[in-house]
Structure 1
Amino acid sequence: MELLTNVIRPYAWGSTSAIAGVQGRPVPSPEPEAELWMGGHPSAPSQLARGALDTLVEADPAGELGADVAAALGARLPFLMKLLAAETPLSLQAHPSEAQAREGFAQAEESGPPLGDPRRSYVDPHHKPELICAVTPFSALCGFRPVSRSVEVLAPVVQDIPALRALVDSLREGADLRAFVAGLFALPDAEQVAVSFADACRAGGSSPDHALAVSLAEQYPGDIGIVLALLLNRLSLEPGEAIFLRAGVLHAYLHGVGVEIMACSDNVLRGGLTPKHIDVPELLRVVRFEESAAVPFEPESPAPGVRVWSPPVPEFSLTRVVLAEAGGQATLTATGPRIVFVLEGVVTVEDGTGPVVLSGGQSGYLPSGHPTLTVSGEGTVFQATTNL
Structure 2
Amino acid sequence: MHELVGALRTYAWGSRTALAQLCGRPVPSAHPEAELWFGAHPADPAHIRVDGLQQSLLELVRADPQHELGAVAPTFGGRLPFLLKILAAEEPLSLQAHPSAKQAQAGFERENLARVPLDSPMRNYRDENHKPELVVALERFEALAGFRPPLRTVALLRALGVERLNPYADLLAAQPDSAGLRTLFTTWITLPQTALAAMLPKVLDGCVRYLAEKSEPNSGAKEFAAEARTTLELAEAYPGDAGVLAALLLNRITLQPGQGLFLSAGNLHAYLRGVGVEIMANSDNVLRGGLTPKHVDVPELLRVLDFEPNELPIVEAEPVDHTLDGSCSLRYRTPAPEFALRRFELAAGAVPVPIPRSGPGILLCTSGAVRLLQGADELRIAAGTAAWISAGDTVVHAAATGGPAQLFCACVGEL
TM-score normalised by the chain length of structure 1: 0.94
Query: What are the equivalent positions in structure 2 for 1:336-351 lying under 5 Å apart?
Result: 336-351=359-374
Distance 1:325 1:345, change over 3 A: closer
Query: What are the equivalent positions in structure 2 for 1:72-111 lying under 5 Å apart?
Result: 72-111=75-114
Give the aligned residue type for 2:83: L
TM-score normalised by the chain length of structure 2: 0.88
Which secondary structure does the structure 1 equivalent of 2:279 belong to?
strand
Distance 1:224 1:325, change over 3 A: farther
Give the aligned residue type for 1:286: V
Asked if 1:198 is matched to 2:204, the reply is yes
Query: What are the equivalent positions in structure 2 for 1:86-235 lying under 5 Å apart?
Result: 86-111=89-114, 113-157=116-160, 159-161=162-164, 164-174=165-175, 176-189=180-193, 191-192=196-197, 193-204=199-210, 207-208=224-225, 209-235=227-253
In 2, Cα distance between equivalents of 1:225 and 1:188: 13
In structure 1, the partner of 2:314 is 296
In structure 2, the partner of 1:28 is 28
In 2, Cα distance between equivalents of 1:141 and 1:283: 17
In 2, Cα distance between equivalents of 1:285 and 1:276: 19
In 1, Cα distance between equivalents of 2:126 and 2:166: 38
The answer to which of 44-53 and 326-335 deviates more is: 326-335
Give the aligned residue type for 1:169: D
In 2, Cα distance between equivalents of 1:218 and 1:133: 27
The answer to which of 4-13 and 320-329 deviates more is: 320-329
CA contact (8 A) 1:134 1:239 kept: yes
Give CA-to-partner distance per residue, 1:210-259, whole Å, 9 cap, x none: 22211111111111111111111111111111111111111111111111
Give the aligned residue type for 1:104: G
Give CA-to-partner distance per residue, 1:134-160, whole Å, 9 cap, x none: 100111111111101111112354744
CA contact (8 A) 1:140 1:252 kept: yes
Asked if 1:360 is matched to 2:386, the reply is no
In 2, Cα distance between equivalents of 1:357 and 1:5: 13
CA contact (8 A) 2:190 2:242 kept: no
Distance 1:124 1:195, change over 3 A: farther
CA contact (8 A) 2:108 2:128 kept: yes
What are the ranges of 5 or more consecutive residues in structure 1 without an aligned counterpart?
Answer: none
Give CA-to-partner distance per residue, 1:65-87, whole Å, 9 cap, x none: 00x21111111111111111111
The answer to which of 49-58 and 210-219 deviates more is: 49-58
In structure 1, the partner of 2:271 is 253
Which secondary structure does the structure 1 equivalent of 2:170 belong to?
helix
Distance 1:195 1:248, change over 3 A: same
CA contact (8 A) 1:195 1:221 kept: no
The answer to which of 354-363 and 201-210 deviates more is: 201-210
The answer to which of 45-54 and 231-240 deviates more is: 45-54
Give CA-to-partner distance per residue, 1:317-363, whole Å, 9 cap, x none: 11111102994532111231111111111211012250111112111
Give the aligned residue type for 1:200: G
CA contact (8 A) 1:310 1:387 kept: no
In 2, Cα distance between equivalents of 1:298 and 1:325: 24
CA contact (8 A) 1:167 1:183 kept: no
In 1, Cα distance between equivalents of 2:351 and 2:405: 9
In 1, Cα distance between equivalents of 2:202 and 2:259: 37
In 1, Cα distance between equivalents of 2:42 and 2:262: 24
Aligned residue pairs total 385
Distance 1:78 1:353, change over 3 A: farther
In 1, Cα distance between equivalents of 2:293 and 2:378: 47
Which secondary structure does the structure 2 equivalent of 1:114 belong to?
coil
Structure 1 residue 294: Cα displacement: 2.0
In structure 2, the partner of 1:271 is 289
What are the ranges of 5 or more consecutive residues in structure 2 without an aligned counterpart?
Answer: 214-223, 323-327
Asked if 1:53 is matched to 2:79, the reply is no
Structure 1 residue 55: Cα displacement: 1.6
